[in-house]
Amino acid sequence: ADAYPEAGSQSYTLHFQSKDNTYSVDSDPTTVTINKKPLANTMLSITGTYTYTGDPITPTYTVSDGTLMNSDDYGVEVTNNTDAGTATVTVKATEGGNYSGTATGTFEIAKANITGITTTVESKEILANNEKNTDIATLKGLLTLPEQVTVTYGDGKTDELDITWAS
Protein backbone atom coordinates (compact mmCIF):
# COMPACT_ATOMS: atom_id res chain seq x y z
CA ALA A 1 0.00 0.00 0.00
CA ASP A 2 1.10 3.58 -0.64
CA ALA A 3 2.28 5.65 2.30
CA TYR A 4 0.12 8.53 1.01
CA PRO A 5 -2.69 7.03 -1.06
CA GLU A 6 -4.55 9.09 -3.62
CA ALA A 7 -7.94 10.61 -2.86
CA GLY A 8 -10.85 8.41 -3.85
CA SER A 9 -12.50 5.15 -2.86
CA GLN A 10 -10.97 1.70 -2.82
CA SER A 11 -12.52 -1.63 -1.88
CA TYR A 12 -10.47 -3.99 0.33
CA THR A 13 -10.90 -7.58 1.50
CA LEU A 14 -8.84 -8.63 4.50
CA HIS A 15 -7.38 -12.13 4.58
CA PHE A 16 -6.63 -13.71 7.94
CA GLN A 17 -4.36 -16.76 8.16
CA SER A 18 -3.47 -18.68 11.30
CA LYS A 19 0.22 -19.01 12.13
CA ASP A 20 0.12 -22.73 11.69
CA ASN A 21 -1.89 -22.46 8.44
CA THR A 22 -4.71 -24.62 9.80
CA TYR A 23 -7.38 -22.13 8.92
CA SER A 24 -7.98 -18.85 7.08
CA VAL A 25 -10.87 -16.50 6.60
CA ASP A 26 -11.58 -13.49 4.37
CA SER A 27 -13.49 -10.46 5.54
CA ASP A 28 -16.44 -9.06 3.69
CA PRO A 29 -15.31 -6.40 1.20
CA THR A 30 -15.11 -2.99 2.76
CA THR A 31 -14.73 0.37 1.03
CA VAL A 32 -12.28 2.93 2.30
CA THR A 33 -12.72 6.50 1.09
CA ILE A 34 -9.87 8.99 1.24
CA ASN A 35 -11.26 12.51 0.99
CA LYS A 36 -9.50 15.38 -0.74
CA LYS A 37 -7.64 17.62 1.66
CA PRO A 38 -8.74 21.27 1.64
CA LEU A 39 -6.09 23.74 0.53
CA ALA A 40 -5.13 26.26 3.21
CA ASN A 41 -3.50 29.69 2.87
CA THR A 42 -0.61 28.41 5.01
CA MET A 43 0.28 25.97 2.20
CA LEU A 44 1.27 28.91 -0.05
CA SER A 45 4.56 30.68 0.57
CA ILE A 46 5.51 33.77 -1.47
CA THR A 47 9.08 35.07 -1.28
CA GLY A 48 11.06 37.91 -2.79
CA THR A 49 10.74 41.65 -3.23
CA TYR A 50 9.21 43.18 -6.33
CA THR A 51 9.32 46.62 -7.94
CA TYR A 52 7.10 48.03 -10.68
CA THR A 53 8.44 47.24 -14.17
CA GLY A 54 5.43 48.00 -16.36
CA ASP A 55 5.06 44.25 -17.05
CA PRO A 56 3.06 41.61 -15.14
CA ILE A 57 5.08 40.15 -12.25
CA THR A 58 4.88 36.49 -11.22
CA PRO A 59 6.48 36.11 -7.79
CA THR A 60 8.55 33.21 -6.52
CA TYR A 61 6.19 30.92 -4.60
CA THR A 62 5.95 27.37 -3.28
CA VAL A 63 2.92 25.24 -2.52
CA SER A 64 3.57 22.62 0.13
CA ASP A 65 1.81 20.34 2.54
CA GLY A 66 4.76 19.26 4.61
CA THR A 67 6.62 18.59 1.34
CA LEU A 68 6.31 20.31 -2.03
CA MET A 69 2.97 19.46 -3.61
CA ASN A 70 2.66 17.88 -7.04
CA SER A 71 1.79 20.62 -9.54
CA ASP A 72 -0.85 18.26 -11.01
CA ASP A 73 -2.86 18.89 -7.81
CA TYR A 74 -3.29 22.64 -8.38
CA GLY A 75 -3.29 25.56 -10.78
CA VAL A 76 -2.10 29.11 -10.03
CA GLU A 77 -3.49 32.51 -11.02
CA VAL A 78 -1.75 35.82 -10.27
CA THR A 79 -3.90 38.98 -10.36
CA ASN A 80 -3.36 42.73 -9.93
CA ASN A 81 0.31 42.02 -10.64
CA THR A 82 1.33 44.84 -13.00
CA ASP A 83 0.94 48.12 -11.11
CA ALA A 84 2.50 49.06 -7.77
CA GLY A 85 0.41 47.91 -4.82
CA THR A 86 -0.89 44.59 -3.51
CA ALA A 87 -1.03 41.63 -5.90
CA THR A 88 -2.68 38.25 -5.26
CA VAL A 89 -1.62 34.66 -5.90
CA THR A 90 -4.53 32.18 -5.93
CA VAL A 91 -3.90 28.43 -5.86
CA LYS A 92 -6.89 26.38 -7.07
CA ALA A 93 -7.19 22.63 -6.62
CA THR A 94 -7.51 20.67 -9.87
CA GLU A 95 -10.47 18.39 -10.46
CA GLY A 96 -8.47 15.13 -10.52
CA GLY A 97 -6.00 16.00 -7.76
CA ASN A 98 -5.82 15.16 -4.07
CA TYR A 99 -6.86 18.60 -2.80
CA SER A 100 -9.98 20.78 -2.86
CA GLY A 101 -10.71 24.49 -2.66
CA THR A 102 -8.37 27.45 -2.94
CA ALA A 103 -5.52 29.11 -1.07
CA THR A 104 -4.52 32.75 -1.48
CA GLY A 105 -1.57 34.92 -0.61
CA THR A 106 -0.51 38.45 -1.40
CA PHE A 107 2.71 40.24 -2.25
CA GLU A 108 3.64 43.89 -2.63
CA ILE A 109 4.87 45.56 -5.79
CA ALA A 110 6.84 48.67 -4.82
CA LYS A 111 6.76 51.87 -6.83
CA ALA A 112 9.70 52.20 -9.20
CA ASN A 113 12.33 54.80 -8.45
CA ILE A 114 12.28 57.49 -11.11
CA THR A 115 15.80 57.97 -12.41
CA GLY A 116 15.08 60.82 -14.78
CA ILE A 117 12.40 63.32 -15.82
CA THR A 118 12.33 65.05 -19.17
CA THR A 119 10.02 67.83 -20.26
CA THR A 120 10.26 70.99 -22.26
CA VAL A 121 9.05 74.41 -21.19
CA GLU A 122 9.62 77.45 -23.37
CA SER A 123 12.02 80.08 -22.13
CA LYS A 124 10.35 83.25 -20.96
CA GLU A 125 11.66 86.15 -18.96
CA ILE A 126 9.66 86.71 -15.79
CA LEU A 127 10.40 89.48 -13.32
CA ALA A 128 10.91 88.50 -9.70
CA ASN A 129 8.59 89.94 -7.07
CA ASN A 130 6.05 90.85 -9.74
CA GLU A 131 2.45 90.37 -8.61
CA LYS A 132 1.61 89.18 -12.13
CA ASN A 133 3.57 85.94 -11.66
CA THR A 134 2.65 84.92 -8.12
CA ASP A 135 0.27 82.04 -8.90
CA ILE A 136 0.04 79.09 -11.30
CA ALA A 137 -2.98 80.51 -13.14
CA THR A 138 -1.01 83.65 -14.05
CA LEU A 139 2.08 81.60 -14.98
CA LYS A 140 -0.06 79.40 -17.26
CA GLY A 141 -1.08 82.57 -19.04
CA LEU A 142 2.53 83.65 -19.48
CA LEU A 143 4.00 80.23 -20.39
CA THR A 144 2.94 77.27 -22.48
CA LEU A 145 3.19 74.50 -19.90
CA PRO A 146 3.55 70.87 -21.04
CA GLU A 147 0.69 68.40 -20.66
CA GLN A 148 3.01 65.39 -20.17
CA VAL A 149 6.42 64.53 -18.78
CA THR A 150 8.65 61.61 -19.79
CA VAL A 151 9.96 59.62 -16.82
CA THR A 152 12.72 57.00 -16.83
CA TYR A 153 12.70 54.16 -14.28
CA GLY A 154 13.99 50.65 -13.66
CA ASP A 155 16.33 49.37 -16.35
CA GLY A 156 15.94 52.37 -18.61
CA LYS A 157 12.21 52.01 -19.26
CA THR A 158 10.33 55.20 -20.06
CA ASP A 159 6.73 56.23 -19.70
CA GLU A 160 4.68 59.33 -20.52
CA LEU A 161 2.80 60.72 -17.54
CA ASP A 162 0.14 63.42 -17.59
CA ILE A 163 0.92 66.55 -15.61
CA THR A 164 -1.64 68.14 -13.31
CA TRP A 165 -0.66 71.69 -12.41
CA ALA A 166 -1.74 72.76 -8.95
CA SER A 167 -3.59 76.05 -8.67
Per-residue model confidence (pLDDT) at position 132: 63
Note the pTM of the prediction, 2 decimals. 0.67
pLDDT tens across 16-55, in order? 888 888 888 887 888 888 889 999 999 999 999 999 988 9
Tell me the CA distances in angstroms from 101 to 38, 63, 80, one per residue in order.
6, 14, 21
Residue 1: which pLDDT band, with cuts at 50, 70 and 90? very low
Taking the C-alpha atoms of residue 84 and residue 56, their distance in angstroms, rounded to an integer, is: 10
pLDDT above 90 covers what percent of the chain? 38
Q: In angstroms, how far is CA 87 from the centroid of its own chain?
A: 5
Strand partners, 106: 88
pLDDT tens across 73-128, in order? 999 999 999 999 999 999 999 998 899 999 999 999 999 888 777 776 667 676 66
